[in-house]
Amino acid sequence: MRSVQAILLAISVATATPSLAQATPEALANDVLMAYKQGNTDEFSKLVTASPLLNNTPTLAAQIKSNLATLLDLYGPVEGWDLVRTKSVSQRYVEKSYIIFQNEYATRLQLTFYKKSSGWIITSFKIDDSIDTLFESTD
């Protein structure tokens, strides 16, 4: 899978989504995961990049959509996912890592959340096929 990873750029973007603030990180993560499961690259991109803090260009959105479509083309539709790890620096800054089961292989999604006064926002994300790194996080 490493050869595929060279083709698929790991997507890691510092973002915030103030217009999409949610009551919990789980609710926001579920929206992102459901968009991926449905193959809705537009919604996935919108959820993880809607931020005045991010230079959200059409090029960035197109890259995210293209990379997600490549993951879906290579590994097939999403069949489900498991939460593998939750880390927190405080009650207001949390990271969650998921393994996403697809028809042919699995992918990894890492989401980082911050709780501001109006609710939880995504501050960064990473999605790729480096699922072997999830073993490191479960030790």
Give me the half-sphere count of Cα atoms (radius 13 Å) on the Cβ side of residue 5. 14
- On the 0-12 / 13-18 / 19+ scale of CB atoms within 10 A, 21 is middle
DSSP-derived secondary structure letter, 19: G
Residue by residue, pLDDT tens for the chain (139 residues) are: 544 443 344 444 444 444 455 679 999 999 999 999 999 999 998 888 765 555 567 788 889 899 999 999 999 999 999 999 999 999 999 999 999 999 999 999 999 988 988 888 888 889 999 999 888 755 5
Residue 1 is predicted with a pLDDT of 54
Q: Which of 12, 3, 5 is nearest to 129 (CA)?
A: 5
**Is domain 2-138 in CATH 3.30.1460, yes or no?**
no
User: How many angstroms separate the CA atoms of 47 and 65, rounded?
Assistant: 12
Three-class DSSP category at 27: helix
Q: Which of 74, 42, 75 is nearest to 58 (CA)?
A: 42
Q: Where in the chain are the domains?
A: 2-138
The pTM score is 0.80
- Which helix or strand (DSSP H or E) is residue 102 part of? strand 93-102
Residue 96 is predicted with a pLDDT of 96
Three-state secondary structure readout of 40-92:
CHHHHHHHHHCCCCCCCCHHHHHHHHHHHHHHHHHHCCEEEEEEEEEEEEECC
User: How many angstroms separate the CA atoms of 4 and 1, rounded?
Assistant: 5
pLDDT digits (tens, 9 = 90+) for 39-69: 999 999 888 876 555 556 778 888 989 999 9
Residue 74 is predicted with a pLDDT of 95
